Each structure stands twice: as structure tokens, then as C-alpha cells.
Amino acid sequence: MSHLKRQFPDCSLTLAGNPAYESLFDGLTYVDHFVGLDNDATIAQQAKLLKQRQCDTIILCPNSWSSAIVAYRAGFKQRIGRRRHGRSLFLTHSLPTIGEPRLMTELYSELIEAFNCNADVTPVSLACPELDVEWAPNQENYFMVAPGAAFGDTKQYPLALMSQAIDGICDRHRLLPILFGGPHEQQSLTELSQSLKYPSLIAPSNATLGEIKCMLSNAQFILCMDSGARHIAAAVDTPQIVVFGPTNPAWTAHAMDKAAFVSNNTLDCLGCHKKICPIQGHPCMNNLDPQILVDECSKFIA
């Protein structure tokens, strides 16, 4: 997006997506408008909403059929995306399928090649306007914990082991853990908080991504799964300790100067990308020593 705006400074750049994401982009000077697309809206409803913007070109980040059909029905003159299972029928410019795992930052940058625009991969960054976060703690020394993952249970470090890791960090550094996640994760956040030896803070279920972004920017580090929380932290220059199991880090290994990827490297099944583990005991997560996370976090303490 920043490359496009530099190349075409007079163009109007509109983002369209889940309304919950809007505050994530606050402060980005190259974004002119945001259109919230409700996931529950029909293709016809989404197409009608996008058509009202009267934009002439759309770049499709998702590789779904529905996104291509919405773009087609909205009447965009240029529709740019990746071909997949005949999806190119609805595109005016189709890029090759993704193929083998590689950095998502590269894959997204390639989407602007249709404009003969500089597609060099640059560090991901988000603006962080000052916010008065009502639920922020009084103390400055804290770290963030995002134990959930939309991918599913196989991607999540067991709460009992996460609890041991958090207690170990608190034992060593006396930091306040701030737990956060989506509205559907509040019960597991409460269970995790109640299992800890030390006080913790749970971000409210209605916390905006803008507030989370602001809190992350001032945190010592984040402890998380391979999830969106890691990428937000990287974009605000906060160190990340990321637990990997069934997903392949080849997709997400950008901004590694302040990141530590942790996995059970004794296994040959890592990166299987399966939502249900076929191996008894789910060893990639259950056999990962919490002390490893404690030691990795210590590298990033200011």
C-alpha cells in the first residue's frame, strides 16, 4: 500500500475488510478510506457496498472465490489477484498460484506488479497514535500474551504449559502479564489468569485493535502463537516470542531481528498444517519445555 501511494500520490486508496480491523490502520497517511465488509453479508450486499465507492481498481489479498466474485459484481475495471481453481475468470490480471511456502510479505508485494510499481519488500510498519487506553495498567513494565490462534487447537500451546512459562517470566523479571484475545477466547484467558501465581490483567473483550496496537508498542515483548498478534507486534517494533507447531514459519519469517521462533525441533512432523493432530499426545506442543520460552523472553528484556 505504501509503495502504491508513493508511485501514485494523487490516487485515493481505500481499504475494505472486517470492520474490527479499522482501528488497526489508524494513523497510516497512505490510507484514505476504510470500508467495513461484514463477514455475514451476502456477496450481493458486499458488492453493492464496494460499488458505492466508485473505485476503478481492486487488489484482492484473499485467494477465495467469493472475494473475486464480489469484485466482479461490484464492477471494478481492474481486478487483481491470484489464479486458483478457475478463479481467474473473474480477474483482469491474475498472478500465479502461491506454490511452496514463502514469505507472505513477498506474496502481497507481488500483487502490485500490475501497476509496474516497485514491489520490493520493505519492513512492515503500523502507525501508533497516542490513545488513552482506559484499561491500561498503572505500571510501565509489562509484557503481552496472546495464547489463542484462529487456526485451531493444534496451533495453541496448552494453557497449563503457558501458565508455567508466564510464571517463570514473572519469577525472573517481575513483569505484569497482560492477556488478550478475541471475544470467543475470554473463557480461556480467564482460566489462564486464574492458574497463574502472579497478578495479571486481561484486556476487555471489546478492546479495539487500535488499543491493542498501542499497548503492544509499549510492551517489553509479546509471547504468542503463530498468529496475527505476532505481525501487529512486529509492525510496531515490539519483540516477539512465537510458538510454532503445525504451521510452517517459512510463511511468516519476516522482521526477524526482534523475533524468536520456538518449536520442538526433535520432531519431523513440524509444519504439517493439520487442524487435528494425528499423533497421540500432540507432541509438537505438549512436549515443548516452558523453560525455553522463559529463556527466549529474557533476551528481549530492556
Q: What are the pLDDT digits (tens) for 190-206?
A: 999 999 999 999 999 99
Under DSSP, the state recorded for 185 is G
Cell 498472478, residue?
95
User: Which residue type does 93 have?
Assistant: H
Measure the CA–CA gap between 184 and 238, rounded to whole angstroms.
25
Residue type, 227: S
**73: pLDDT strictly greater than 70:** yes
What is the set of domains in the chain, with CATH numbers? 2-115 (3.40.50), 142-298 (3.40.50.2000)
Q: What percent of the chain has pLDDT over 70?
A: 99
Residue 153's pLDDT band, with cuts at 50, 70 and 90, is confident
Which residues share a beta bridge with 261?
Answer: 242
- H-run or E-run covering 169: helix 159-173
The answer on pLDDT for 148 being more than 70 is yes
Average pLDDT over residues 233-260: 94
Query: Is pLDDT of 288 > 90?
Result: yes
Task: List helix spans (H) across 8-146.
Answer: 43-51, 65-74, 104-109
Q: What percent of the chain shows pLDDT beyond 90?
A: 74
Residue 91: the pLDDT is 96
The mean pLDDT value for 100-125 works out to 86
CA dist 115 and 137 (Å) reads: 46
70 Cβ contact list (under 8 Å, min separation 6): 43, 46, 47, 50
Question: What pLDDT score was predicted for residue 160?
Answer: 96
Residues 161-172: tens digit of each pLDDT: 999 999 999 999
Task: Give residue 302's pLDDT band: very low, low, confident or very high (50, 70, 90).
Answer: low
Q: Bridge partners of 71?
A: none
Instruction: Using the predicted structure, report yes or no on whether residue 118 has a pLDDT greater than 80.
Output: no
DSSP 280: T
